[in-house]
């Protein structure tokens, strides 16, 4: 999923060798939110409430990807074609061909629209031409790389073909290849990506393609440097701007080793297929002294399972199991005890006039081995000039810890030790 804050975010990537980054060996690229004033997708005619409303709506679309059926886990990527969240400057080939692509934490394989396009969506920039690159190399059908991928086939030319389809009918199809990638001036050789010659569906003209930041074998996270099984990355998201206010401050994401120091809590990452998503075990949520447990709301015929929530910075709201959410909303109402209002965009159910809220109860999300305390900026989101709403919503599928709940927390993923860590932090000061 892609990151859903309303500000520009800076991605600092550390090149790891032997399990830890060399001192000072880092490079930085910018990630622009699709609603950032610096983004080519920025719509000056939209109000703050409309932009935030679109982000909240993306939460509901995104949550559908994480629903499980009775016979196992099936996950459908239906968010990316419609609602890419952040744009990344990235160059492919030698000489480098600079593109602006969607940075997506909810997918693995990166793909770019390429020449010659059999069928392509309208793109504002020039297409990548593999024939112009001295380092482009198609992957063969019988290679271990091709055989390790899920949605590949063999072309008449014996090259590996990828096919990505989305719930709204959008598709991307082309050749799996190795190529040189340049990020922030740092060169990454032999990067596995998809050179797409057939694309159809709902894509924005500014998008050259997708950059996958998930946890799978062929994501950018895994492929940058000699990460191997030692992949680590972290980020700290600053609060959303209030109404149309803009800020020069940015969120930061670091690829490589991290040390949060004291007062950090950690919970195991649960290894569930697909490896793309970051699963944790959610035990419940507290409002003041009232704790609401997931186990109390499990159906008698359904055993409580590990990995029942995804930590996803590409989803805006935090999605809670429907019955648990009902008790949680009631507890919030009882604690705030003010006259409620309606969300002008009708996305969330519990809202208040912002000026009337003098205090917010202590809210704690309970995970296996980690209690994460939420502040006011995690519990309520300003949806218009005068209205703040509960930044949670019910779901019938897997729970999702969205990015509002992660604001002002250092969040670190250690894919070597399979943990995710949290530390309360003023992200504007780091």
Catalytic residues: 104, 312
Pick the closest to residue 224 from 193, 259, 261, 266 (CA basis).
Answer: 193
Tokens at 275, concatenated: 């490896």
118: left (phi over 0), alpha (psi -120 to 50) or beta: alpha
3-state secondary structure of 205: coil
Are the C-beta atoms of residues 111 and 194 closer than 8 Å to each other?
A: yes
What are phi and psi for residue 251, nearest 5 degrees?
-75, 160
Alpha carbon distance 307, 63 (integer Å): 15
Pick the closest to residue 401 from 373, 347, 349, 365 (CA basis).
Answer: 365
Alpha carbon distance 335, 359 (integer Å): 9
Tokens at 230, concatenated: 């030692």
Alpha carbon distance 62, 240 (integer Å): 20
CB under 8 Å to 224, separation ≥6 — which residues? 13, 15, 183, 188, 255
Alpha carbon distance 30, 83 (integer Å): 19
Are the C-beta atoms of residues 89 and 30 closer than 8 Å to each other?
A: yes
Alpha carbon distance 93, 15 (integer Å): 20
3-state secondary structure of 21: strand
What are the residues facing 248 on neighbouring strands?
A: none
């Amino acid at each position: 999923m892609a990151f859903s804050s309303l500000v520009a975010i800076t991605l600092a990537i550390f090149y790891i060798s032997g399990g830890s980054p060399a001192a000072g060996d880092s490079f930085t690229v910018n990630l622009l939110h699709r609603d950032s004033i610096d983004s080519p997708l920025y719509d000056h005619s939209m109000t703050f409430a409309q932009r935030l409303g679109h982000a909240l709506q993306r939460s509901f679309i995104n949550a559908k990807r994480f629903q499980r059926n009775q016979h196992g886990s099936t996950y459908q990527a239906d968010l990316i074609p419609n609602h890419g969240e952040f744009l990344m400057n990235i160059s492919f080939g030698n000489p480098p061909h600079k593109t602006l692509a969607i940075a997506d934490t909810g997918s693995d394989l990166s793909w770019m629209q390429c020449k010659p396009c059999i069928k392509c969506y309208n793109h504002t920039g020039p297409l990548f031409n593999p024939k112009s690159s001295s380092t482009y190399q198609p992957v063969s059908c019988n290679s271990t790389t091709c055989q390790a991928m899920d949605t590949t086939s063999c072309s008449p030319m014996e090259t590996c073909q990828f096919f990505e389809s989305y719930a709204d009918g959008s598709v991307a199809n082309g050749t799996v290849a190795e190529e040189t990638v340049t990020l922030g001036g740092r060169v990454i050789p032999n990067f596995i990506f998809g050179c797409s010659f057939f694309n159809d569906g709902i894509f924005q003209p500014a998008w050259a393609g997708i950059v996958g930041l998930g946890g799978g074998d062929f994501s950018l996270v895994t492929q940058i440097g000699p990460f191997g099984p030692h992949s680590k990355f972290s980020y700290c998201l600053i609060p959303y701007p209030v109404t149309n206010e803009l800020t020069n401050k940015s969120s930061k994401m670091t690829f490589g080793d991290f040390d949060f120091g004291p007062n950090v809590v950690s919970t195991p990452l649960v290894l569930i297929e697909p490896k793309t998503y970051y699963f944790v075990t959610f035990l419940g949520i507290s409002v003041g002294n009232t704790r609401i447990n997931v186990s109390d709301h499990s159906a008698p015929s359904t055993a409580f399972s590990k990995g029942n929530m995804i930590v996803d910075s590409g989803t805006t709201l935090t999605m809670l199991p429907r019955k648990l959410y009902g008790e949680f909303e009631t507890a919030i109402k009882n604690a705030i005890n003010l006259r409620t209002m309606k969300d002008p965009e009708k996305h969330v159910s519990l809202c208040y006039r912002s000026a009337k809220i003098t205090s917010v109860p202590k809210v704690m999300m309970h995970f296996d081995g980690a209690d994460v305390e939420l502040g006011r900026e995690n519990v309520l989101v300003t949806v218009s000039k005068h209205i703040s709403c509960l930044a949670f919503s019910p779901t019938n599928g897997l729970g999702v810890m969205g990015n509002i709940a992660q604001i002002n927390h250092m969040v670190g993923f250690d894919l070597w030790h399979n943990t995710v860590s949290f530390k309360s932090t003023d992200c504007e000061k780091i």
